[in-house]
Every structure is written in structure tokens, then in C-alpha cells.
Amino acid sequence: MKFIKKFIVSAVCLVSMCGCEMRTDIIPQYNLSNSQTEQEYAEISAETVCQGMQEQLSVENFDAYFDMRIDSEMIKDGVALFKNKNPDFFWLNGYTIVTDNKSTKIKFNILNNYSPDEIRTMHDELIAAADNITALAQNYESSYEKILFVHDYIINNTDYDFAGADSGQNGIWGTSYGCIVNGHAVCQGYSEAFLMIMNNLGIECGVCAGDSDRGRHAWNYVCLDGKYYWLDITWDDPESDENEEGNLEHKYFLIDDEMLFRTRTLDENQIFIPKCNSLDDNYFVRNNCFMDYYSADETGEKMLEYAENHEISIMFPSYGAYSEAVYSLFEDGDIWSALSYVGEFSEIKYSTDDIMYVITITF
């Protein structure tokens, strides 16, 4: 640490995560002089820090000043809250804390060293893109339909940026701008873009992060009709997995805690962790493609319902019910009984998902 006029300067690093590159702030550590103690920190909330940042940060001002000494943990929470409310501030790339006994200054680093003029132009582009998507979503009546539209729109108009994910660096691909302006993003970019549009629509939403089966990862939660649900837009985009191909999916659209935590753990230091214990608005439940137990006849009836699509995906609540369906349909030959409901078909293909307990049948 370098001391200048009794100020403590603490640099904040950024870490690039494996798998899905994600920007994450590391908590700065203070060195205290003999005259400084923990009791000197002001009693202040993350909301107050966030509000101070709201009032001071702009495309030309990258610093936030407080006439008090604030604990680094509270600053970290305030910054996280600010980012959750302002995903359009894509240029913020870590920060440095400068403090003494009477004041605290948060000085933000700027992604790619963009100039204020560049930031202003890019910010205008981002706002215009988000407003356009928001206007399209407003054509739908229910919040469910709006959430579904934005989920599908982002997937259909974004390419997963493998080069960015493998670069080991922070980049525009990890931002809302990278997602909905450039059309190239990693999980953080998908999540922040979705958050930005949900904020526009007035739908409660947030970004959470943790370790997943594919490495470090970020995803969203939303509140719909008073109930919280998880959704992972990145993993519903087959392009995000080099081993997968095909159209967009909805396996991670409005799922509950049990489904989410099959594949990941949450970081403990989240601003808010919702309790997601409902499947009322899950995609498969809403579309009559959720089966509590396996039945050949019920499978046939659902295939008939989706005969015009020539494809159906069915989700099961447990591995037991799912594995019974896989064995009965494709080992015991129940698929031919189910297909009798459909009538004529040219060929049959199927795929299985042992994690989300989904069977997809093309016929």
C-alpha cells in the first residue's frame, strides 16, 4: 500500500472466470494506521452508498465522494446494488477506494479506457437498442409473455462469445452493450441485458452469480405474480455450449431452486437471494409439457397436441420418472404406441437431458 497525506489507497482487482467470463469485484483490504480503528467506519447502508453513486456517476464523472469513512464491505454491496439498478453503466470496470478518517472516494476504472465521448455515443446506442426491445415486448399483454419474448429475443440475436470467454480478460462481451448492440456476449452480458429490459418493463429482476458445471457463471431471477423464479438465458442458447446445436430452448426458463441447484452453487455475498419454490409459470408447466409420472398414453396425447410442430419436449419432476420414460419409450418400444396418436410421420429422432429431466422427440 502507498500512503499519501494519510490517505489509504486500495486497488480493486477484477477476476476473469473460467467457463463463462464474468466481471467480479474483489473486496479491497484496508491497512489501518495506529489512529484508525474499526469503530471509525460510518454506519451507512448499501442503499445509501448506491444512492450516492446514482447522484454522482455519469458518462463524464467516474468518481463518487462521501463525507464519511465507509467500510469496504459496504462499498462492495453498494456497488453491486448500483450495478443491479444500472446495467447500462457498461463501462464500469472495477474501482479503487481512497479514504481517510473523514471521507471516502470510490474511483472507477473504465473498460477499455473508453473516452467520455465514446461512452456517450455507446450509451446512446445501448439505450436505443434496449428501448426498441422494450417496445416490442410491450406488444404482449402479460408479464409472462413479455419475459418469454425478451428471453427468446436475446437468444435469437446474440452469439455466444467464446473468444471473449477464453481471453481471461474483461471486455465489452461481458456487458449489456456487448449483448444487445454488438450481438456478442458471455453470461454476464446476457444477464445484464435482460436485467436492463426488465427494469424498463417494471418487472422485478436481478443478477446472481456462482460456480456451475461449466465454470463461473451469471444468471437472472424474476418476480412474476408475486413469486420468484430463476432463468438462465445463456444455457437456453445452444450456441453457448460448443457440444450442442439446435434451436433455442426453455429448460432453464422460470425454474425453481431444486432445478437450479442441480448444476450450480450461489456465491454467498449476493445482494438478494430469492426463494424460488414455485413452478406455476414454468415453461413446461404452462405449455402442458410437464408430466408428474410416465405414461405412454399421456405421452401420445401430448405428441398429438404438438403434431403441427413435429416436435415436443417433455419435462419430468424427478430422475426416477424421467429414466422410466426413457427406458419405456426407447428400450421397451412404447414410442410406437405413443406415435399411434399422431398418425403419419416421416422419421423419429429423440434426445435426452439427464440433468433437467427433459426428453425431446422429433417426429
CA distance 230 to 157: 21
Q: What is the pLDDT of residue 5?
A: 33
Contact 36, 188 (CB under 8 A): no
Q: What is the pLDDT of residue 244?
A: 61
Judged on CB neighbours under 10 Å (0-12, 13-18, 19+), 60 is exposed
Q: Would the pLDDT of 192 be above 80? A: yes
Q: What is the pLDDT of residue 242?
A: 64
pTM to 2 decimals? 0.89
**How many other C-beta atoms are found inside a 10 Å radius of the C-beta of residue 204?**
15
Which of 168-172, 209-213, 228-232, 238-242 is the least confident region?
A: 238-242
* SS3 at position 19: strand
Contact 176, 192 (CB under 8 A): yes
Q: Would the pLDDT of 20 be above 60? A: no
CA distance 256 to 110: 36
Contacts (Cβ under 8 Å, ≥6 apart) of 48: 78
Q: What is the pLDDT of residue 39?
A: 44
C-alpha distance from residue 289 to each of 228, 306, 314, 338 (Å) = 21, 10, 5, 15
Host H or E run for residue 121: helix 116-137
User: Taking residues 238-265, what's their average pLDDT?
Assistant: 89
Tens of pLDDT, residue by residue over 111-122, are 999 999 999 999
C-alpha cell at 89: 453503466
Q: What is the pLDDT of residue 1?
A: 36
At residue 79 the predicted structure's pLDDT band, cuts being 50, 70 and 90, is very high
Q: What is the DSSP string of 175-194?
A: SHHIIIIISEE-HHHHHHHH
Q: What is the pLDDT of residue 245?
A: 65
Q: What is the pLDDT of residue 88?
A: 97
Q: What is the pLDDT of residue 145?
A: 98
Q: What is the pLDDT of residue 128?
A: 98
C-alpha cell at 72: 469496504
Higher-pLDDT residue of 6 and 104 is 104
Q: What is the pLDDT of residue 66?
A: 97
Q: What is the pLDDT of residue 243?
A: 59
* SS3 at position 211: strand
Is CATH 3.30.2420 what the domain over 116-284 is classified as, yes or no? no
Contacts (Cβ under 8 Å, ≥6 apart) of 274: 206, 221, 223, 228
C-alpha distance from residue 242 to each of 60, 165, 202, 239, 245 (Å) = 40, 12, 34, 6, 8
User: Taking residues 25-49, what's their average pLDDT?
Assistant: 56
Chain-wide mean pLDDT for the chain?
89
Q: What is the pLDDT of residue 19?
A: 44
CA distance 342 to 89: 51
- β-pairing, 205-212 vs 184-185, is unpaired
Contact 74, 109 (CB under 8 A): no
Q: Would the pLDDT of 34 be above 60? A: no
Q: Would the pLDDT of 98 be above 60? A: yes
Which residue, chain included where needed, has cell 460456480? 211
Q: What is the pLDDT of residue 208?
A: 96
